Amino acid sequence: MLYYLFTYLDKLDFPGAGVFQYISFRSAMAVITSLIISLIIGKIIIRFLQKKQIGETVRDLGLEGQLNKQGTPTMGGIIILASIIIPTLLFAKLHNIYIIILLVTTIWLGFMGFIDDYIKVFKHDKQGLKGKSKILGQVSLGLLVGLTIYFSNNIVIREKISTNNVEPKSEITKSTNAFERRAVYMSGDLKSTKTTIPFLKNNEFDYEYLLAFLNKTARKQWVWVVFIFAVIFIVTAVSNGANMTDGLDGLATGVSAVIGTTLGILAYVSGNIIFADYLNIMYIPYSGEMVVFASAFIGATVGFMWYNSYPAQVFMGDTGSLAIGGIIAVFAILIRKEILLPILCGIFFVENLSVMLQVGWFKFTKRKYGEGRRIFLMSPLHHHYQKKGYVEPKIVTRFWIIAIMLAVITIITLKLR
């Protein structure tokens, strides 16, 4: 909203109003505002939750220090949601389709997580929202996002055309600056189901390739089904992965802050025609605005760690974890970097995989041998290390370090081909 106010003031030659035209300035303001909101609102919400005795019910799983968390306020994801939404509304261009999709994602999954926490806390049902209902909500969001990306005329990419043997036609194209020369020769905006593949020279993959067994006309006609199915799968998987990771104080928030920073960098270079051309990646018009949202996301997760670091004063609950995972998934899809998620979200992936392997192996061995066996001492994976005797802060810190390493690898894939 402030963007529109200062744009109007800039037209009236109000001193300094033009600074709001810069994404870098608005992103910086979004981070600062998000941090301030999380710190201020966090204290208020924690006191309210304590007063209403909205605390975590902890089962005794034999983990060190676990029972000390009994009664710790939960549903703290409200702090994260407010710290993302408010700065975005203040500093982003609200007519931007990418910002709209990210706000819808935040509210959608945040509300679904809130219902889940509400059932657990107020209805005293440890299961919370039924698994089928949770999956239905995630699938519905994935369907909405996929349809919007595929059919909206405001979501396009711009591909380069060859500059070989092309004679410059104007003074602009005669520029000796290589960045300018390459940026000039861009084709028009077009709809596409292409995405980025890491480590390959020609690093673009079209979902249409998955329908290679059909003729060209049929591929064009049915590619949207494959694309939307992929979006639904990614949103559901990453959202659940973040939910599984939220088991130790500061673990999910710290890892998410690292991921959010990386996605912000990728959005910036994808939305900047010069950097996109230099790195030889897809240029996505108007996607640079997502950096403002990413900045609010970073500020929200870092600010929440003020209260969520060990020993936690509040837990985010599903209100925060489901929303965080969904935001990361949708953000990556919008900038056509979703195939990088297994690397960038490696912590989420391994946590999710550990649960799937544990449950699958237990059921298989129970059928075959009449006795269920386990791969890990306990799943998700962070509990396995707790069972091995590692203290909680050490596990969290090491997971953060791994998350940073994965983030660096993700970024260097832009040039490492």
Find the range with the poorest average confidence among 135-139, 187-191, 292-296.
187-191
Three-state SS at 54: coil
Write out pLDDT tens, residues 351-376.
999 999 999 999 999 998 888 899 99
d(CA 324, CA 76): 13
Strand 194-196 with 186-190, pairing? unpaired
Residue 10's pLDDT band, with cuts at 50, 70 and 90, is confident
Residue whose structure tokens are 């970097």:
337
Taking the C-alpha atoms of residue 211 and residue 218, their distance in angstroms, rounded to an integer, is: 8
| pLDDT value of position 173 | 42
Domain boundaries, the chain: 26-163+173-357+396-412
CA distance 179 to 175: 9
| pLDDT value of position 414 | 83
Tokens 């910002």 — which residue? 99
Q: How many CA atoms, within 13 angstroms, populate the side-chain half-sphere of residue 353?
A: 7
250: left (phi over 0), alpha (psi -120 to 50) or beta: left
pLDDT-above-90 percentage for the chain: 60
pLDDT tens-digit map of 142-201: 999 999 999 999 999 887 654 444 444 444 444 445 444 444 445 567 888 899 888 877
Rounded to an integer, the average pLDDT of 338-359 is 94
**Weakest-pLDDT range from 77-91, 141-155, 206-220, 258-272:** 206-220
* Arithmetic mean of pLDDT, 251-256: 95
pLDDT band (50, 70, 90) for residue 58: low
Checking if the pLDDT of 40 tops 50, the result is yes
Taking a C-beta distance cutoff of 8 angstroms, is the pair 180, 174 a contact?
no
Is there a contact between 191 and 220 (Cβ–Cβ < 8 Å)? no
- Between these two residues, 360 and 216, which has the higher pLDDT value? 360
pTM: 0.90
